[in-house]
Structures are given as C-alpha cells and as structure tokens.
Amino acid sequence: MNTKQLYTVIIFSENTVGLLNQITIIFTRRQLNIETLSVSPSAIRGVHKFTITTFAEKDMMDKVVKQIDKRVDILKAYYNTDEDLVHQEIALYKVSTGLFMKMNGVEELIRKYNARILEINEDCLVLEKSGHYAETQALFEELSHSIGVLQFIRSGRIAITKSKVERLSDMLSAMERKINM
C-alpha cells in the first residue's frame, strides 16, 4: 500500500518572475503541504534551484513532479527520499546573554552540538547550528528547557544528490548537442 513519507523535490528553473506561484499552485491543487522551501541561484548562471520538502505518497509525488516539470519555464524537476541525499538545514537561536553566562556546561553544549556563537552583546547572543531537522530541534529543546530561547529560526532544507548522475547538466548538454546538430 502507498504510505506517506517525506520527499525532497528539486526543481531547476529559468529565473523568471512568478515561478514560485506556478509551483505552489500544483501543490495546493493536490492538497500537499509544503514543509520547507529554499530557493537560490544554482551553479549554472541564470538557473534557479528550488528545494521543497513535502509528505506525500509516491504515486502522488510522481504525478505532481510531472506536472511541475511540464511548466514552460521549468528546466527539470525530480524528487528523492532522504537516502539519496546529503541534506542540511541551518538554525539560529537567540538567547539571553546573562542566562547563558550563568548556565553550567557551555563548552560541553557547544561541542556536543557543534554550534557556533555569531554575536554577543550585553543583552543577547546568537547561536548557529546546521544539521538535520532532528539535530537543530534537539538544541532548541535543550536551550528552551535550560534558559529559554528568545527567537528561533530554521531555514528550509537544502540538498545535494549522492548519485553519480547530474541530471540537469546532462540534460542541458544533451540539449546543446541537439541544437547544434
């Protein structure tokens, strides 16, 4: 039977206005919640990369990704599960400087979570940690329990495939060959 699991949809597109809308419409029509979203220029000049995570059934994911891929300005869309990916999120935590100073085991905490301190002033300090969702969440919970967190923000997932195949660049070079033929 089909069961829902977390998929990472990776989309390469031309850098045109309104593309995010075109993509989210397709999720909305199928009643899929976007868990995380990250958009940035890709390694290829003029090509943008969207990384979207969502819980869905495989069959549904298949259909949704085909419908995204079909849009005129989309170069390539595909989906993966976590096993195929190296993925990461980044989180920032703002805590009270006074409470943090008084807390026992700061060094231990920093080492345990491999966290960094980005900013300190009299009132507050900002910690940064990158990792999987569970890892950034664990630090959040530990800080919440001990000294409280004033502000917390986590980025959308970014991901890179582990496989040897580079789908976009292969596709682009195949296209170039075709045009030059």
Partner 1 sequence: MDKKQITGSEALLRTLIAEGVDTIFGYPGGQVIPLYDCLYDYSDRLKHILVRHEQGATHAAQGYARVSGKTGVVLVTSGPGATNTITGIADAMMDSTPIVVISGQVPSPLLGSDAFQEIDVIGITQPITKWAYQIRKPEEIAWAVSRAFYIASTGRPGPVVIDFAKDAQTGHVDYVYEKISHIRSYQPIPETEEESIAAAASLINGAKKPFALVGQGVILSGAEKELLAFLEKADIPAASTVLGLSAMPSDYPLNKGMLGMHGNVGPNRKTNDCDVLIAIGMRFDDRVTGNLQAYARQAKIIHFDIDLSEIGKNVAVDIPVPGDARETLAAVTRLLKPASHTEWIHSFTADEQEEYEKVIAREIHPGGDRRLRMGEVVRKVSDAAGADAVLVTDVGQNQMMGVRYFRYSRTRSVVTSGGLGTMGFGLPAAIGAQEGAPDRTVCLFTGDGGLQMTLQELGTIMQEKLNVKIIVLNNHYLGMVRQWQELFFDKRYSATTMENPDFVAIARAYGIRSRLATTRGELDESIAEMFESDTAYMLVADVETQGMVYPMVPAGAAITHIILEREEVTRN
Query: How far apart are CB 76 and partner 1 at their closest, in Å?
Result: 8
Query: How far apart are CB 152 and partner 1 at their closest, in Å?
Result: 32
Query: How far apart are CB 97 and partner 1 at their closest, in Å?
Result: 42
Query: How far apart are CB 136 and partner 1 at their closest, in Å?
Result: 34
Helix (H, G, I), strand (E, B) or coil at 61: helix
CB 127 within 8 A of CB 93: yes
Q: Which is nearer to partner 1, 62 or 123 (CB)?
A: 62
Q: Which is nearer to partner 1, 75 or 143 (CB)?
A: 75
Smallest CA-to-CA distance from 3 within 51, 61, 52, 85 is with 61
Q: Name the β-bridge partners of 56.
A: 5
Instruction: For residue 21, give Cα distances in angstroms to 29, 46, 52, 171.
Output: 12, 19, 13, 25
Cβ count within 10 A of residue 4: 13
Q: Which is nearer to partner 1, 29 or 116 (CB)?
A: 29
Query: How far apart are CB 88 and partner 1 at their closest, in Å?
Result: 27
Q: Which is nearer to partner 1, 66 or 162 (CB)?
A: 66
The binding site for partner 1 (CB under 8 A) comprises 13-14, 17-18, 21-22, 25, 29, 62-63, 66-67, 69-70, 72-75, 172, 175, 179
Helix (H, G, I), strand (E, B) or coil at 48: strand
Q: Which is nearer to partner 1, 7 or 93 (CB)?
A: 7
Q: What angle do CA 5, 47, 59 make, to 5 degrees?
A: 25
